[in-house]
Structure 1
């Protein structure tokens, strides 16, 4: 199985004359893209081969000074955009008759660029231009861990910093293994709970506090600058961009996903996730009217955490299955009876009196549903045998859960420096 990863790099600050060439290149590429996307949507052409046959000569005559392979990459880009738009239009999700081409990055095939470790050469209408790259830890780690550089790349001029943003794609072959055990995952607003070696581990994410902090901070900024300069002003937008809420939450998701997948890989285990619908937040908000709580739920990104875990699992070859999450936090796995919640996230089994934490209860039920769906029998009230030992369910209700604070598991997943172990790559010719 082939997996891919995109690494984003920035170039060194470019001289004005050199940067102007890339700005001109972007303008020509955008114009070709506009013409080709419009044609593809009008004629419902989603095949790159057909689109190239129809528009190649037109694109070459439009900008004859460009290398010919830009006509190929424009057709590839246009075919994907047209296919996506027509699919949305068929479902009734497209608001306009034709798609808007807003974000443009220049596609490069293997005839339009050459790469070294910290340098890239790009073919332009002014000839080949070599640009230095500012490498970072994530890039070095990708280079040093068996990933191979793909033949296609993308670039985009950053007019504010006078740099190029370079998107490099890496790929590698991964052999998935057959799971010998399972790690069930329950994603919540403020934590992610995992059942590892039959011990519930609760990773505190702190996203509830973080979401509310950014909510009130944005509100203060908006009230201050809207009163002075009106609702649309650059000063307010500049301050809001510096908050970087999305980047910090993304960092939490990616690091947590890596910890969970690595622990599963060590045990030759698969991962069990809840089978959540795409609009899970909307369904949760139907009966909630509190404005602050609605904002917290909307920003909780349950699917974002699951997606991060799935992508990392695919990279490591870890199997992933999904099970129905209905009532996993309401039914006692020991007695199959209702758990009554009276105070916070702790509930009491109506039959046996066991005290269950809501998230611990969920991961056990997810695990047991996966076993039953695999054809195995349900466990008895005393527990079930694994490798000759009895795993009692009732004992794990509250006492055996391990709580890990955000600061602790974030340090656990810190990246080691790898520049000294860099593999040497020769410049393509």
Structure 2
């Protein structure tokens, strides 16, 4: 691993001194013989100079300094390893004709999912005395012809989805609670530790370890939920043959400037991870996911287009036509309208699913942990 990293660093140093874009053919001419003399296989050489070029291009695009590689990672082409999913064994072909056999610790359910897929590359990483392997798979899927439209409204405390038929009727309405409150709890603990050791927390190993554990827990909660909810939503969309509508939140952090409390929630809100998992799970099933501008989806009446008034308990009312509905459900209707070719949704039966007086506005009617119980291993 160190030899591979040092070889990549060698190529990075050479490329950094050159102020020109080099083709793969030119890179091959410059580095192939030199790297082969170090004992690397032919495909190792290709991975090294291609990876080094991507590192240099990325650093220059971001206006950074010359990259210095410290982590022990290596990309391995499909010709330089043998993967046996049946026995969960991986054989890596190393430099100087050495080979090493690794036993994969992935659960059987996860392995079974990719049994009929094609693997084409893997990444090996050595960290804290452990060897991690990421295997990349691909498969060809047939696109599913959409028969319904699924609109998804994503908020701090919940995710609301509605499945609409092409003529505008609601076929399914579902709401899931997000674990943002759990994440905020870990963030509060991090801040308490930092305040208690305000001057020394950066230098005390035990304190840094405690902060790191809370940070790791935050990452695990967000990724775990994102994978599970993405898989569940994609299964539901596949059941209804839906095209999925997501909010385009690309510039949300730049445009949303509010109070300190809101900004703290926004910093911990993992909407990009949720949308990423929904998109790739949908793509895996041959479904299409599109993003639309979410502007005014929670403030415009889906019946007449007038501005809605907040009446409390997350309910909105239109003073012009009298329409009343839940804030999140209204958002899904308006997202559907933005995609649909139909000029009007018709008489949508939008049920009022707002919390009752006295209930927390973050709660929902139904099973609050529904999204966390039914899932498939990713």
TM-score range, shorter chain: 0.7 to 0.9
Offset of residue 233 of structure 1: 2.8
Question: For residue 18 of structure 1, what is the aligned residue in structure 2?
Answer: none
Question: Deviation per CA, 1:246-277, whole angstroms, max 9, x where unpaired?
Answer: 1111111111111111111111111111223x
Question: Deviation per CA, 1:121-147, whole angstroms, max 9, x where unpaired?
Answer: 222346212222212245323234x32
5+ residue gaps in structure 2? Answer: 165-169, 356-363
Offset of residue 200 of structure 1: 3.0
Offset of residue 334 of structure 1: 1.2
Question: For residue 113 of structure 2, what is the aligned residue in structure 1?
Answer: 142
Q: Residues 103 and 403 from structure 1, CA distance in 2 versus in 1: closer, same or farther, beyond 3 angstroms?
A: farther
Q: Residues 156 and 212 from structure 1, CA distance in 2 versus in 1: closer, same or farther, beyond 3 angstroms?
A: closer
Distance 2:22 2:368 in 1: 46
Q: Is the 8 A contact 1:48 1:79 kept in 2?
A: no
Question: For residue 82 of structure 2, what is the aligned residue in structure 1?
Answer: 114
5+ residue gaps in structure 1? Answer: 1-25, 384-391, 417-429
Q: Structure 1 stretch 306-315 or stretch 115-124: which is displaced more?
A: 115-124
Q: Which aligned segments of 4 or more residues in structure 1 are displaced greater than 6 angstroms?
A: none
Question: For residue 179 of structure 1, what is the aligned residue in structure 2?
Answer: 146
Q: Structure 1 stretch 329-338 or stretch 232-241: which is displaced more?
A: 232-241
Q: Is the 8 A contact 1:265 1:318 kept in 2?
A: yes
Where relative contact order (Cα < 8 A, 6+ residues apart) is larger, the structure is 1
Question: For residue 55 of structure 2, what is the aligned residue in structure 1?
Answer: 81
Distance 2:106 2:289 in 1: 33
1:55 aligns with 2:34: no
Offset of residue 225 of structure 1: 4.5
Residues 17-416 of structure 1 aligned to structure 2 (within 5 Å): 26-41=1-16, 42-45=18-21, 47-61=23-37, 63=38, 65-86=39-60, 88=61, 93-96=62-65, 98-117=66-85, 118-125=88-95, 127-137=98-108, 139-144=110-115, 146-150=116-120, 152-158=121-127, 160=128, 162-197=129-164, 198=170, 199-207=172-180, 209-226=181-198, 229-243=200-214, 244-276=217-249, 278-284=250-256, 286=257, 288-290=258-260, 292-372=261-341, 376-379=342-345, 383=346, 392-393=347-348, 395-398=349-352, 403-415=365-377
For the residue of structure 2 that corresponds to 1:248, the secondary structure is helix
Q: Is the 8 A contact 1:178 1:319 kept in 2?
A: no
Cα RMSD, aligned residues only: 2.5
For the residue of structure 2 that corresponds to 1:412, the secondary structure is coil
TM-score in terms of structure 1 length: 0.77
TM-score in terms of structure 2 length: 0.86
Distance 2:375 2:209 in 1: 31
